[in-house]
A and B are shown apart, each in its own frame.
Chain A
């Protein structure tokens, strides 16, 4: 229990760190903080506008007061206003986050499930499967995200023309079921790309954990008793491997958001990732900060959730508190 509580605390500290980073960056970097915070250059604002923003952003007051206002804004859900795009940051992210989450969550769920099964099977047997899987996964793990994406696009979209290479929907799709299936159709390649990126490291992690666990005594005893491997895997190993697995799932979400930035760029999907790259090209600082905040929030929430799930399912953790 203590370990997981500690994890949750670390999580919150991390979140605080992101908030501080978001707060400090525009005010510490050389240059005008007003420019960084509004996203507009001081040259493009009239004197009155500049004064207005200076006051509204409380630049002249001391750091703690500014931080107080900043926290107040965050809790009110105000993430800033993007002048380049003429819309509030919260609104911009809100419309786009659906696409990113669709890709990320699907990829996380499928890749972790696959990693679990594959890793369990491969780690518990020293056979041909392991000999082939491990090098293949190592090799694919060295491929950068965009390489995998580009190969998939080239093979499946250009040469075989099975899947579309861009967008989330065809322009003609309207209404319930057709729209839904059209969306899945467009999401297949991006999700597969992200799975291919995330699977190797998860697989290797699971496999190594299982490999180590195979050396434990309870496995030896189970085999002595004549239980078959399948039983050992799913009744014994699984329960012991579950906590690190759950932690891995939680941390995967953060990595998948990063990966989805590249995937969305490749596949021209209007998600948070392309919003981020747009913001970088236009140096739209409020939008950048907003996206960082939301990504961190998602990552933290998923880690905390998985830790809570761990506490629930892991009897060792619960009984630790009793001691």
Chain B
């Protein structure tokens, strides 16, 4: 791996590790409670690194605890989306009616206006966290499915698969024991972009106010800032920092994906 890819990988991993650490061990980063109240609307200072918001919570503390929320929802929905995408992708690569149906499903989902669908179905399903995770996963599997399908088609034409078929192995056995292990590099490179897609969807949903209001994710923090007077007070620390955190997270995923992808070129 050349130096550029290595730096990209290191930076990406470092950022993600930083956020994961924030999520898992919030007390390392901040000794304030998430709902501990101080004077409202303070600017960034030595005592409060990012200042305080309208309720007097320390914004950096909210960011730290929000990291856990954001990562939990994004990563879980990303993993579920990956699983869904892999299964559907492999099914879509089959050469029979089932394959055509699933291929059709992939194409259909590609064309849907994602955010609008997300919002409407989220309104029907209510505010639970699990519903949100499942919902985001339900719209995020498409890219993975396409990549898996393309790769499966390529693999299916190779000689060793033909060999398996001649030997009479069942389709399920071929899929699980022979095709799947060869999909790992596709899956890994798709994992990062899938999760980052889920991060963006989650942040859009929570920016619009759909989500847990008491344990805010980064998107919800921005929603609060926007609706509770941050603009008029020019409280950019509250408005912009969570958004920058979201960008950093997505960027980190992209960098890792970049480093990994070039390897197979």
A and B touch in the complex (CB under 8 A): yes
- Interface of A toward B, CB cutoff 8 Å: 7, 10-11, 13-14, 17-18, 21, 25-26, 29, 36, 138-139, 142-147, 150-151, 153-154, 158, 251, 254-255, 257-259, 261-262, 265-266, 276-277, 279-281, 283, 285, 288-289, 291-292, 295-296, 299-300, 303
Q: Is the CB of A142 within 8 A of B251?
A: yes
What residue in chain A is nearest B255 (Cβ atoms)? A138
How far does the alpha carbon of A296 sit from the alpha carbon of B119 in the complex, in Å?
13
Interface residues on B, range: 35 or more
Q: Is the CB of A13 within 8 A of B108?
A: yes
Interface of A is mostly: helix
Q: Is the CB of A261 within 8 A of B115?
A: yes
Decide: A142 near B247, CB < 8 A? Known: A10-B104, A280-B123. yes
Q: Is the CB of B112 within 8 A of A261?
A: no
How far does the alpha carbon of A29 sit from the alpha carbon of B123 in the complex, in Å?
11
Q: Is the CB of B108 within 8 A of A17?
A: yes
Interface of B is mostly: helix
How far does the alpha carbon of A257 sit from the alpha carbon of B116 in the complex, in Å?
8
What residue in chain A is nearest B227 (Cβ atoms)? A265
With a CB–CB cut-off of 8 A, which chain A residues contact B121? 21, 25
With a CB–CB cut-off of 8 A, which chain A residues contact B122? 280
- Interface of B toward A, CB cutoff 8 Å: 104, 107-117, 119-125, 196, 200, 203-204, 207-210, 219, 222, 226, 231, 234, 236, 239-240, 243-244, 246-248, 250-251, 254
A-B contacts, 9 of them at CB < 8 A, read A142-B196, A147-B243, A150-B239, A251-B111, A257-B115, A265-B208, A280-B209, A283-B123, A292-B116
How far does the alpha carbon of A289 sit from the alpha carbon of B120 in the complex, in Å?
7
Most buried by A among B104, B222, B240, B243: B243
With a CB–CB cut-off of 8 A, which chain B residues contact A11? 111
Min distance, Cβ A100 to any Cβ of chain B, angstroms: 11
Q: Is the CB of A144 within 8 A of B123?
A: no
